[in-house]
Structure 1
Amino acid sequence: MNSLGGIGVQRQQVSPMMPKLSEQLEASKNKVKGVEARVAALVEPDPGLAKAWMNARFRREGREEAMLALVHEVDPISAQELREGFEETRRLSAAVESFRGLCRQLDAANERGEDKILGKFVGQQQKDARIQMLRDIDTVSRGIKAAGLCEAANKFPLAQLAALKDQVREQVEKLDAANLPQAPRLMCAAKVATLEGAVAAIADITGDKALAEGLKAAAGRADDKAAFTRDLGSFALLLDQASSAPDYSMTRMGWHYGYSRGDYRARAQQPFVMYLAEQRLEHSGEAAHAALSKVVDSKAPGLDLQEGLTKRFLDEIGVVPERAKGWKPSMDGIAKALAHEALVPLRALNETIQDMAGKHGHERDFRRVVNELTQAMVEGNYKDWRNGNAASTRQLRPLSAAQKKAWLANDVRQSIDAPHGGRLTTREEDDVDLLWLTKIGGPSHGFDFGGHCLLPLLSNARTRAVVVEDTKWPDNPAARAYLRLLETKEGEPVLYLEPLQRDFPHRDTFQQDDLDGFFIAALVDHASKKAQALGVPLSIDARWGGIAKFLDLPTKADPKPEFVLAASAGVLEASDTMTTLHDWVQDKDMVIQPHNPRITYAPEGV
């Protein structure tokens, strides 16, 4: 493997780009703000236009398109300037973010040596890491050129970027010619469900066959062999998940993590992320080995295994012993969490609270909610906590006992055949797997980019997560949408269906645009059956009227609806349609006005 020779020199030569890029990005943003201020002055005399302008500016979904459409009617010249400003800002934002990622890679390589860092990765991961560097270099170069920063006066060392790109491309070509093994994917719970499977997995992960044989012998001395097998399997899953988990206390929230659940299962973390986790990985391995060795020598191996597993699990998810005083860990609860690959998302939530509170404040409230839901998962009563906390109880108050039972039930299933040859089936997810739901599509991008936007889903009984499974995509759901329980101003319950989000890799694999329509049809069909079960109206986006007609659902227009949104149990609420904001502190009931027209389906008799 060729190393990136002279990497330190290259880092020094390209480093002047960062402040210049940042300055240009700020200048571009200020230019956009200037145009926006001019437009605001133009529309101010007309209250209707002024309100439309404010709504366009603060909406999350389709914000730029809405602003440009309105400005084009008022002042076409300003519209053109605004469009150019948006495009330049996007290019520069991408360049700045990619430059940060590139510099992290170069810094890590400079400090520890590229070969040493990448030597910890299986061949395909080494190739993927270099391909990511190529993408970052291209994005930075495009941003520099588009902003006119490659002129001689700016003295941007694009030649150095080009030379670095040539080196990295050469390495990719050599790796292409090699027979690259894939990194082992995360283990599934079924693999360690037997004693033999758990012992074999621990031997494989630790490389210590004597330890594994000692654990097998210890199982024979355990009072409860079934419990010992369960806990040893859980320990194997813990070792496996921890071995590729980022150290979020070091890397914090950001774009530098996986976009999809598949990325985590394939251990597709950027090298600098794992470089910063190196010390923690070593500590984890040593502590786990010591805990398992104690079990081998124990006269009460079952109890010592449970104690060791509990301590290691709490440590791995970022819970210090003082926080867990008074908790009552459940071995079934820990087993369920690990079976659903919860270690990484729980670690992210517990170690990025300061980032969550960044623009919103309320750090103490974020800590309280994360602590409560983590405790509930460790104790094995997460569903009860989610559906029974004080705010959730208030959210369900409009429902009768029968309606509440129907709302919390998971008995609705709808299926539809899709043109790519798969069958789409809906179901509702309401347990530990909710931790992974925002890794299916955008816009919050999951626990390690937008953990604050995940908390409302994890905490509020008023939200049911409807997932769509595809027979062509068996590893995880292919899409999801939220179904909300809201109230009318008169206090009557109403269901509210949020937009479709498709798993990014699924969309890349099956690119047919018409697939979205089939996913939406499955979701609307599911939501209508839920509305029928509760005997309440269903509100959907007016743009889905054709799909409702296809499903023989009679609807009526509701162009300016208003609903009551009860206070959130998760500090915030997050939505791309309920208000013009994406996420906001929601500690009391509020009236919401969706920014898109809605249509309402009322089941027969409602």
Structure 2
Amino acid sequence: MMNVFLKAVWFCCLSRASFFSAVAELDTSALEEALSEQPVLVDRLTKSNFVSSEESQALALLAEQAIRRGIDYASLSLGWNHPTSRIEYREATHKSITCSASRLRQQRSKSALTRTVQAILEGQEKAQDAIAELFLQEIGAKGQNIAPTWAAIVAALENELLLPLRALNEGQQSMSRTFNGQPVPRQPIAEAVRSLTTHVVQGTFKNWRYTNPVGQRQLQGLLEWQKEAWKESTSMTHGKLRTHEDEPDELGLFWATKIGGPSHGFDIEGQCLLPLLCNARHKVILVTDPAWPHNPAGRAHFRLLWTATTGQPILWLETVNKDFRANVDTRAWAHVVLTHAVAKAVNMGVTLWVPNNFEGLLSSVSAGQGEVRRMQDRLVLRPSNGVVEASDYLSHKHDWPQMNEETTDTLLRTAFIPATLQHDEI
């Protein structure tokens, strides 16, 4: 018999197709701990005609994330005292989870879950409506006049988004200053968090990222086929390794910056995560390694930006980070990430800029596909839909308010120019 932690890890690694066909034991095992004071409820739940297997699974995940792993961001705020890797949340032994404030929050969540289950079993509320309402309450979004869809709530729970969404909704006071102490306007932060929360629970998160007016402006100048190529969640296999721009729903972006550091995680400098979540120009290339089956083990920021001199689009790749807990061999990672980025550049017909220490490897990876040489220019940063921009490579400021268009200092990078791209277009 798997212990609760191993069940939770296995539970969260299932594909969507297999997730809700998991054995019924998982329905009760997660809920038994949450409803330990009233075990009869679990028995009634498994036998009830009011609750489907899918709804039971959703309740189990909600119990796991809100009660066993729950962190009270409303009282603890955001900061560097929270976990720095995804598996630490699943282990549920970090001091942010075990401290008295979070234990009190977990108890309140436990009481709320008990009331919800009772209301469902007594036929007072429909299961899906009650679970969705409880999810909104747990992430701090109750009363925001959001109309969630059931499929989106399931997807959010499947992707372990309860704590990320709670941190962003309840920790906004901590997001009102940059890492270096520069003020960040509170109202735009609140609006950005409300928008992304709404679109997550309505199942339109990815579409919103690319179709909101600010996002459309960031991509303006690309041909339609180039926009579609950029939006595609490209995935490539390289032997045992896989590189991917998250998954098609892009909900993994909430956890991407918990992979290595310095962390721009949802509960550590949370404002720094908003550009990735909200901007059409911003993605990540993730590395999934079977030696670390819990979550993607590697991450590199990946942006679409514009040169100031010629107004041409470029793909901007940053360094590859490793999950702090992943004990894996990273020697092939730079090669596979560059292979992925070069393929994307060729597919889109745009130049790729990478860190200069990748020059030799880039020449090897891209042999026969184009030219590699140093290029320098200032880059145009069109307004951020996430209020701020955050990068140690685009600016020395780390993160800064970026609601207006601006240009970077002159940057010198190693560039790959696809053979299909004419020199007079660069």
TM-score (norm 1): 0.63
Residues 27-65 of structure 1 deviation map (CA, whole Å, 9 limit, x = unaligned)? xxxxxxxxxxxxxxxxxxxxxxxxxxxxxxxxxxxxxxx
1:205 is matched with which residue?
A: 34
**How many angstroms does 1:557 deviate by?**
3.4
Which of 538, 542, 549 in structure 1 is aligned with 2:356? Answer: 542
Which of 351, 356, 364 in structure 1 is aligned with 2:187? Answer: 364
Q: Distance between the aligned counterparts of 2:246 and 2:96, measured in 1?
A: 33
**How many angstroms does 1:182 deviate by?**
8.7
Which of 425, 435, 440 in structure 1 is aligned with 2:242? Answer: 425
Which of 378, 388, 401 in structure 2 is aligned with 1:562? Answer: 378
Code of the aligned partner of 2:232: A
Contact in 2 for aligned 1:195/1:233 (Cα 8 Å): no
Unmatched 5+ stretches in structure 1: 1-180, 417-422
The equivalences for 1:158-307 within 5 A come to 186=8, 188-189=11-12, 190=14, 193=21, 196=24, 197-207=26-36, 208-219=38-49, 222=50, 228-243=52-67, 244-270=69-95, 274-298=99-123, 304-307=126-129
Q: Which has the higher helix share?
A: 1
**How many angstroms does 1:204 deviate by?**
4.4
Give the stretch that moved more between structures: 456-465 or 305-314. 305-314
Q: Which has the higher contact order (CA 8 A, sep 6+)?
A: 2
Give percent identity, aligned residues only: 31
Give the stretch that moved more between structures: 273-282 or 551-560. 551-560
**How many angstroms does 1:472 deviate by?**
1.0
- The answer to whether residue 215 in structure 2 is matched with residue 401 in structure 1 is no
Q: SS at the partner of 1:505?
A: coil
Contact in 2 for aligned 1:314/1:320 (Cα 8 Å): yes
Code of the aligned partner of 1:425: R
Q: 1:442 to 1:271 in 2, by over 3 A?
A: closer
Q: Distance between the aligned counterparts of 2:185 and 2:160, measured in 1?
A: 29
Code of the aligned partner of 1:571: V
- The answer to whether residue 172 in structure 2 is matched with residue 353 in structure 1 is yes
Q: SS at the partner of 1:436?
A: helix
Which of 191, 210, 213 in structure 2 is aligned with 1:387? Answer: 210
Q: Which has the higher strand share?
A: 2
Q: Distance between the aligned counterparts of 2:265 and 2:234, measured in 1?
A: 27
Q: 1:307 to 1:414 in 2, by over 3 A?
A: closer
Q: SS at the partner of 2:126?
A: helix
Q: SS at the partner of 1:432?
A: coil
Q: SS at the partner of 1:504?
A: coil
Q: Distance between the aligned counterparts of 1:265 and 1:202, measured in 2?
A: 16
- State the superposition RMSD in angstroms: 2.2
> How many aligned residue pairs are there?
401
Unmatched 5+ stretches in structure 2: 422-426
- The answer to whether residue 123 in structure 2 is matched with residue 308 in structure 1 is no
Contact in 1 for aligned 2:48/2:121 (Cα 8 Å): yes
Task: Tell me which stretches of 4 or more aligned residues in structure 1 moved more than 6 Å.
Answer: none
TM-score (norm 2): 0.88
Q: SS at the partner of 1:584?
A: strand
Which of 408, 419, 422 in structure 2 is aligned with 1:604? Answer: 419
Q: 1:282 to 1:192 in 2, by over 3 A?
A: farther
Contact in 2 for aligned 1:232/1:305 (Cα 8 Å): no
Contact in 1 for aligned 2:139/2:162 (Cα 8 Å): yes
Q: SS at the partner of 1:579?
A: coil
The equivalences for 1:398-477 within 5 A come to 398-415=221-238, 423-429=240-246, 431-477=250-296
**How many angstroms does 1:273 deviate by?**
5.1
Q: Distance between the aligned counterparts of 2:304 and 2:397, measured in 1?
A: 19
**Higher radius of gyration, 1 or 2:** 1
Contact in 2 for aligned 1:540/1:600 (Cα 8 Å): yes
